Amino acid sequence: LCRQRNLSPDQQLIAMSLIGDYPFAVHNVMFVPTLLSQATPAQQKKWLEPAKNFAIIGTYAQTELGHGTYIRGLETTATFDPATQEFVLHSPTITASKWWPGGLGKSSNCCVVVARLITHGKDYGPHTFLVQLRDYETHQPLKGITIGDIGIKMGYDAVDNGFLRFDHVRIPLENMLAKNSKVTPTGEYIKPKHDKLSYGTMIHVRAGLVNLSSQALKIATTISIRYSAVRRQSELESPNKEVQVLDFKMQQYQLFPLLAAAYAFHFAGARMVSFYTSFLAKQSQGDIGMLAELHFTSAGLKAYATELANAGIETARRCCGGHGFSKACGLTDLYESFSPACTYEGENQVMYLQSARALIKALQAVSEGQPVFAVLGYLSKPTLPAWAARLPADLNETGNIIQLFEHRAKRLVQHAAATLKEFGSRGQSPALAWNSSALELIAATKAHCELYVLNSFADTLRSATVAGTSFHGALNNLFQLYAYAAVERNLAEFLVDGYVADFQVALIRAKVQQLLASIRPHAVLLVDAFHLSDNQLNSSLGRYDGNVYEHMYAWAQREPLNKDQVPQAVKDYLQPLMREGRARLTSKL
């Protein structure tokens, strides 16, 4: 709000997508959608129009100073008072202060508040309430409400993430968002019909984060690959002719799998969205079966995609050498605005573990001969003793790639289940055994997600829009690189049971080398295909025209410090110091 940044429109878009680098992001992405999904038609009628016209600016306040992950632990209470037909909102402790909501500190005058609903002395857990925070005219906080900005954080300089406390603040009964559950005037609690009703929205939000991960990787690889084609450093073969750093094997090995991931997440995100769309169609016919299938995968995918993209931005920046640290590169800002995606909308470790529950359940179902979701079909396939690929050409078979990842995912789910069981048999309670097996559970989820992404990619390659086009070959190389680089990264998981043998490791290594070489000549074209404008990239290093150095030089000239040859700070501090030093020396002579 009051601090300045130089984000490109596209970086802003990324930032906006969930939490927002501008004060309306949470208004648009959380406040309005929550009204749409949780408010009754009457409530929507009352608040949606003002919200859409920015007569009210809202935010979504769930997280508290003391609680984020564990929503049942939220301390803010909304106690129903039948005498006045009001809820009394209260923050009993400092840790009950709402903390982090974007736009809460200074901009918003309204808010969806998540608070524990209490009526007739009974605690029904977290529910949502619409609360006016500030006077619509003066913008001063209403009585009993303390609001402010939570202070400076990494990135998001333009967003006033805020805190909020209630001292027995009264709101009318009709401000409880009552589409799913509600309280009657006499204080009876009526619970929601379905507990899966929120799945759809969650999938949609998580698909958004997979797309965001793709977008972040597109920006990162465009900047880093273009720069690596401009940057020349060291001689390789010809004397007096320095090579493009993109010719260094490690540069390729670091950047090309990220390029592949940018495409892979694009397809995976699209698959999730189309899944969600066809769900909406079926839902109208009362069929919500397919929803649960993607719901649990989507938690893991959120974690998997954001984690890989977050690390990828860092890798891409480091691949730019020293200039990667300059704001002229653009990747430090991208990192700052993207990185929180690993934590908000569900902390990644927590998301992986949430997904793992469904995997363990499904394995149990398989062992009992019950049907499982299509996406888990691999759990009931027979286990083969060894990977089928034996000749270099076999590594080009998509079937062999999928088989490899299905085997590994299945084995890791089994291993996690066995670990759980073992800790249980040693006397640990289910909760403790779950915690003791966290590493194995997370490995299983990651393997499951990697398979999901590979399947989305393979489906796309087979689809009408890609199959048979000139783009198919290049995409197929990226698909294979995505897969085999993942194998090399997690090699032990493929080796441990002897499924992949030493000679196959060598085949994979050779294949990766060959893929890097095949992708090299097209690398710049493959990032150009993302069609990111120079404006979106906001990077001297990643410019389309490749005039990196001229642009960096010109950019530096615009640094405000350069307005004066001798800035005030030098006059005030350094010049006296230097004068003193000279005087001391002269007096010594």
**Binding-site member from 316, 340, 404, 494 for ligand FAD (CB under 6 A):** 340
Task: Residue 143: name its binding partner from its own copies, ligand FAD, none (Cβ under 5 to 8 Å by kind).
Answer: none
234 lines the binding site for ligand FAD (CB under 6 A): yes
According to the binding rule CB under 6 A, does residue 325 interact with ligand FAD?
yes
From the candidates 345, 406, 440, 493, give the one annotated as an active-site residue: 345
542 contacts which partner out of ligand FAD, its own copies, none, CB within 5 to 8 A by kind?
A: none
Q: How far is CA 500 from CA 55, 390, 442, 511, 543, in A?
A: 62, 10, 22, 15, 43
Q: CB of residue 395 vs its own copies: minimum separation in angstroms?
A: 18
Distance CA 489, CA 91 (A): 47
* Among 198, 343, 398, 400, contact with its own copies (rule: CB under 8 A): 343
- Token code pair at residue 183: 């309280």
Kindly determine how many residues on this chain lie close enough to bind its own copies according to the rule CB under 8 A.
116
Q: Which amino acid is at 128?
A: T
- Phi, psi (deg, nearest 5) at residue 117: -80, 125
Taking residues 28 to 57 in sequence order and writing x for each that binds its own copies by CB under 8 A, - otherwise, the string is ---------------------xx--xxxxx
- Residue 242 makes contact with its own copies by CB under 8 A: yes
Residue 544 contacts which entry, ligand FAD, its own copies, none (Cβ below 5-8 A, type-dependent): none
Cα of 533 vs its chain's centroid, Å: 23
C-alpha–C-alpha distance, residues 229 and 252, integer Å: 11
12, 15, 23, 102: which one binds ligand FAD (CB under 6 A): 102
Q: 356 is written with which tokens?
A: 């793992």
Q: Which of residues 135-164 bind ligand FAD (CB under 6 A)?
A: 156, 161
- Under the binding rule (CB under 8 A), the answer on residue 566 touching its own copies is yes
Interface pick for its own copies out of 80, 100, 256, 482 (rule CB under 8 A): 100
Q: What is the DSSP string of 256-295?
A: HHHHHHHHHHHHHHHHHHHHHHHHHHHHTTT--HHHHHHH
3-class secondary-structure state, position 233: strand
445 binds its own copies (CB under 8 A): no
The helix (run of H) or strand (run of E) holding residue 555 is helix 548-557
The helix or strand, by DSSP H or E, that contains position 419, with its residue range, turns out to be helix 398-425
Helices (H), 426-522: 430-436, 438-462, 472-489, 491-495, 502-519
Rounded to the nearest whole angstrom, what is the least distance from the CB of residue 342 to ligand FAD in the complex? 9
- The amino acid sitting at 582 is R
513 contact, one of its own copies, ligand FAD, none, CB 5-8 Å limit per kind: its own copies
The CB-of-247 to ligand FAD minimum distance in angstroms stands at: 9
- Paired tokens of 190: 């009526």
345 included as an active-site residue: yes
DSSP label at residue 97: S
Task: Using CB under 6 A, list all residues that contact ligand FAD.
Answer: 19, 26, 60-63, 67-69, 100-102, 156, 161, 231, 233-234, 245, 248, 250-251, 319, 321-323, 325, 340, 343-344, 347, 349-350, 353
Give catalytic residues, as residue numbers: 345
